[in-house]
Amino acid sequence: MKSLKNQTVLGLLATAVSAVLLAPIATASSHREAPFITQHPKVDAADFYMFRSYETGREGYVTLIANYVPLQDAGGGPNYFAMDPSAVYEIHIDNNGDAVEDLTFQFDFNNTLGNAGAGLALSIDGVDVAVPLANIGQFGNGDNSGVQNVIQNYTLNVIQGDRRSGTSTTVGTYEKPMDNIGAKSFPDYNGYVASISNSVGAFNDATASVCPAGAQDIRVFAGQRRESFAVNLGEIFDLVNLDPTAATNSQSNDLLNKNITTLAVEVPIACLTNSGAVDVIAAWTTASLPQVRVLDPTPSATSAEVTAGPMVQVSRLGMPLVNEVVIGLPDKDRFNSSEPKDDAQFATYVTNPSLPVLLNVLFGVTPPSNAGRADLVAAFLTGIDGVNKTAAVAEMQRLNVTIAAAAKGAQNNLGVIGGDNAGFPNGRRPGDDVVDIELRVAMGILCHALPGVFCDAVDAASGTINYTDGAVQDDSQFDAVFPYLTTPVAGSPN
């Protein structure tokens, strides 16, 4: 006989399922730029990167990095920033130009407590009392079962075809490192991360059915990293409360001392390009939640809800800053529950952008007036001819894998508009200053640089202005090896 708890929860669940079947599904969004996602930070996509690996000896690989749970304060204890075990986090690859996923890398997380799920306890006056903290001692570079009270593992699946109905291959299950609580808990945080088996590892046998022969070596990492995005956040969204032509200043980066949770895979080029059949691949990241979520009135240690139904996409991110500054407020949630193949419904936001008009109102700089903004369509929806153009008209990040990577120290942080075709918008590297790039593209730099191709140079005087948000972003801020993003800020430095 079921307990009263289960009867109550199952009854509520049945009622909720019936309501969902009788009413339209509520949709959701991605990285804090849309109303719904602010309520669900664990599935909030912050940044997405795709680039030819520039680690020495890994030139034949592409690195894909999806960041989630933005604006993490380093001292955010005692529970820190575990991922949502009811969600799936996915990176999708389109390798035939139809804006539909052909290959998906799926991260699925699971939470448990120490002491075989019972939680670590201390004996106090002969009574075992469960502790309230995530750890009760220092972490070493080996077995930490005696001090680690919160354990999160993840399974990496590779799916061929449709993300829900395609063929899924499990690569393996691995441990996610604990967040960087502080120097006392982690005397050697980097050594601890490196010691966790398969936090970065090679997987050949499991991917033999997915990748062609000789292209089966996949590396994976999931864990906390230092925030990789640089932006003068407060001032930009306060009606651009700064001089957009001023010199950069690293102290104006409002994310400088924040952390992020990184999901990264490094994959041989031939595995992503359908055995080399294409030169340009496209990609985006999503997070999805079960359609029905019912609060459990008597929650367990690792779950406070009961879930059911199909997975519903609540977060989507391809090109950076699209939903923040391109998509109109009424469509932000809908955009991020949609798929690239359906992006024609949002085309007006690109062909008739509001950001240049707002900048004109604020600073009196006349933006390009060419009808249809072919320059923005190329940058955001099709790729640039001769660089990374594909047949699909859809918002995705595109990468021409035949363009060689630029080494750390040799990258131009303005990417293509800076003369470096290995950078944004041909994919995106951590050191690409996408805020400055997108401000300049929005105001017509492509019209100025390529007169007559997209629009008239005379109509693009604003394209000569070096717009900037003031925050420094370049390759010197990142590592030269996978996963490239750096050690997270510690909760206490010493």
Which helix (H) or strand (E) segment is 366 a member of?
none
> ∠ at Cα 100 (98, 104), nearest 5°?
135
Amino acid sitting at position 42: K
Peptide bond into 299 cis (omega under 30): no
pLDDT, tens digit only, all 494 positions of the chain:
233 334 444 343 333 333 333 333 233 223 466 777 777 889 999 999 999 999 999 999 999 999 999 999 998 889 999 999 999 999 999 999 999 999 999 999 999 999 999 999 999 999 999 999 999 999 999 899 999 999 999 999 999 999 999 999 999 899 999 999 999 999 999 999 998 855 555 566 778 888 888 888 899 999 999 999 988 877 877 777 777 777 666 668 888 899 999 999 999 999 999 888 899 999 999 999 999 999 989 888 888 889 999 999 999 999 998 888 888 889 989 998 999 999 999 999 898 888 888 877 777 777 777 778 888 899 999 999 999 999 999 999 999 999 999 999 999 999 999 999 999 999 999 999 999 998 889 888 888 777 667 776 555 567 788 888 888 899 999 999 999 999 999 999 88
Q: How many CA atoms lie within 13 A of 373 on its CB side?
A: 23
The distance of Cα 375 from the centroid of its chain, to the nearest Å, equals 25
Distance CA 419, CA 416 (A): 5
Nearest alpha carbon to residue 109 among 45, 199, 173, 159: 173
Write out pLDDT tens, residues 77-93. 899 999 999 999 999 99
User: Residue 318, class by beta-carbon neighbours within 10 Å (0-12 exposed, 13-18 middle, 19+ buried)?
Assistant: buried
Distance CA 159, CA 68 (A): 21
The distance of Cα 340 from the centroid of its chain, to the nearest Å, equals 16
- The single-letter DSSP state of residue 331 is G
The confidence score (pLDDT) of residue 207 equals: 83
Give me the phi and psi of 145, to 5 degrees please: -60, -25
Mean pLDDT of all residues in the chain?
A: 86
Tokens describing residue 132: 């309230």
The confidence score (pLDDT) of residue 458 equals: 53
The confidence score (pLDDT) of residue 13 equals: 38
CB 271 within 8 A of CB 211: yes
Q: Outline where 247-321 has alpha helix (H).
A: 269-272
- What is the number of other CB atoms lying within 10 angstroms of the CB of residue 103? 23
The confidence score (pLDDT) of residue 200 equals: 54
- The single-letter DSSP state of residue 301 is S
CB 161 within 8 A of CB 98: no
Is the full-model pTM beyond 0.85?
A: yes
Q: Outline where 136-222 has alpha helix (H).
A: 189-195
